[in-house]
Amino acid sequence: MTSTEHRNNLELLTLIWLDYLADATQENREVQARLRTKINYLRTFDNCQDCEHYIRNVIDDKQEKIVLIVSGRLGPDMTQRVHDLKQVVSIYVYCLNKEANEQWAKKYKKIRSVIVRLADLLYEIDRDQKSEEQKLNESIEISTNEDYSLPLLLRTKLSLKDRRDFVKFCSKEYDDNESQMEKVRDYEHLYSSSSALDYFFNETLLYRLLLKSLHTFNIKLLYFLRFFLQDIEKQLESLPTISGKVYRGQLMTTAQVDSLSQTVESEFIQFNTYFIASSNQEHIRQSLQTAADNYLQRVIFEIDDKNHVGKQYKQFSMFPITTTFRVTSVRLEQRIWIVQMTAHNDIHDSRLKEEIDPIQLAQYFREMNRLDQAEILFELIQTQHPSLTAECYDGLGRIAQDRGHYDISLSFYLKSLQTISSKNRTQCLNNIACAYDYLEQYGEAIQFYAEALDLMKTGLERSTCLNNMGVTYAKENEIQQALDCFQRALTLRRASLVENHPEIGICYANLGMIYVTRAQYDDALEHYNLALRSFSSNKFCDIPQAIVCQNMASIYYHKNQIDQALKYYQTAQKIFRQLRSADHPNLLYIQQQIEQIMQNK
């Protein structure tokens, strides 16, 4: 086992050394330590089969790029196997007989050098990492989906403990690599908020960790690094804006170029990294023309920054991490794709402009249905801040509930109740009641709802509890009690909220459910449509919208309006597929209903 095999790779490059004796001698173990001064994450292999399997199956779906060192003996076979893989960016032949190995190596354009001396190998690896060609090869992903995760991280409060925990995290990851630990100590003693851009453009450890965490969206590392993101953005605000057009060179897949072509004048796009550009178009063009393309497309982004979004830092043009771009044209010119874009940085959601605390950050990730990342955040916050244990248990309970794991959610809620403050006790009681309801233990659910309702003081709090009680009564077929709860909840919400508020939509949806039980199907459809109208105005109401569509489909099926039933089941299915796992109970039920309809048509 190599010294980094048990760790996650926190940086962009993976270094692989293939040699029969890579782990066999003390001298070679010392070579490994020297290699890790250049690229921390090192894997060694003594045969081509295991090495190829790792490159193809472990690295293939990740953002890592591989720097491969091969011996003269294993090099010809291994290079032939993996040379054309996109994740392999550089190959070095480290051998005893340079002249003999240069004969076969010259056939492969990814082989940088045939080297005999370790010092020369270290120098070449270091130089290539800093080359413009490597920057052209940097992984870059394009998204057309509106993503609030980075704006939220930029608004999340910091504490001194965050930076101490970041140092602890890095010390644990790099504890066996003294050269990297020196860089951790450098950050700990020398870093200041005003030096953030210097740390970024000097490609320090902070820079490498930030780029990898952005590329893979490692939420734990991004949470630790949000101080760096916030410092960069604050420094950018004080810099002069870009004047004129700027350019960026990039090597991209054919699929990425096609994706850009499809967004012309239709969608805004975002990149998963800081977008750095230059005013020197000719230099970028020359760099692209001389770079090994690694079977990728050569691309020049031409940005017309008429909205003054980009900032000038020394010779660099840098756009804030929240920048969106609009593609105006894509054309092929002398074997280089020219992608013309305009830059925008408008944030309309008021919540993304206000400071939030870490618990709110985790809650927002849950609302965005990024449940795995929300779970990581709640667990991390619980470790960092033991005083927030009750809130974290509550969040973990809600995540388990979202996944349909109702017994697990109940367990978390009961743990939360043991440590929660008296002012938050009512919400916890309400959550416990909900969990019992999902587990079809309706008597226990009503008991906890009633206890919560007695403690609630505000109209909106009481309306939520009454609404939930109504749902449970309806499941118990106590229709009059359910109707009474829903009507009281609607009255309380109308007194405080606008008519198209999603909470009022929930009341309409539940009244629709009651009308179904009374076989008043037209009244039910009327209230469901009112609910959909409320939900459509809120981007976080996809789940309630899907449930209403599912219920409307059931009504249409009962009324023998099969086409309408199929339409609403398929709408519900489409929404649930984006937000729920394939084995979620709702999805399984809807699929059964669709199959039944299709068989009977």
Q: Which of 87-91, 92-96, 214-218, 425-429 has the highest mean pLDDT?
A: 92-96
| Averaged pLDDT for residues 339-364 | 84
CA distance 210 to 231: 13
pLDDT at 471: 92
- Give percent above pLDDT 70 in the chain: 95
- Give percent above pLDDT 90 in the chain: 72
Chain mean pLDDT for the chain: 90
Residue 158 makes CB contacts below 8 A (sequence gap 6+) with 226, 227, 230
pLDDT at 290: 82
Token representation of residue 307: 């909205």
Question: Does position 137 have pLDDT exceeding 90, yes or no?
Answer: no
Q: What value, to the nearest 5°, has the Cα angle with vertex 513 and ends 487 and 534? A: 70
Sign for the pseudo-dihedral over CA of 505, 509, 515, 520? positive
pLDDT at 400: 97
* Domains of the chain: residue spans and CATH: 13-130 (3.40.50.2300), 245-350 (3.90.176.10)
CA distance 194 to 529: 54
CA distance 429 to 186: 49
| Averaged pLDDT for residues 120-149 | 80
Token representation of residue 394: 């509550």
Q: What value, to the nearest 5°, has the Cα angle with vertex 132 and ends 129 and 135? A: 70
Q: What's the length of the chain?
A: 601
- Residues 27-79 pLDDT 10s: 999 999 999 999 999 999 999 999 999 999 877 555 678 999 999 999 999 99
- Strand order in 111-115's β-sheet? 42-45, 13-18, 65-70, 88-94, 111-115
Decide: 148 and 138 in contact? Cβ < 8 Å: no
| Averaged pLDDT for residues 95-122 | 94
Lowest mean pLDDT across 338-347, 365-374, 407-416? 338-347
pLDDT at 537: 73
Name the amino acid, one letter, at 470.
G
CA distance 212 to 523: 54
pLDDT at 1: 44
CA distance 192 to 361: 25
| Averaged pLDDT for residues 483-490 | 95
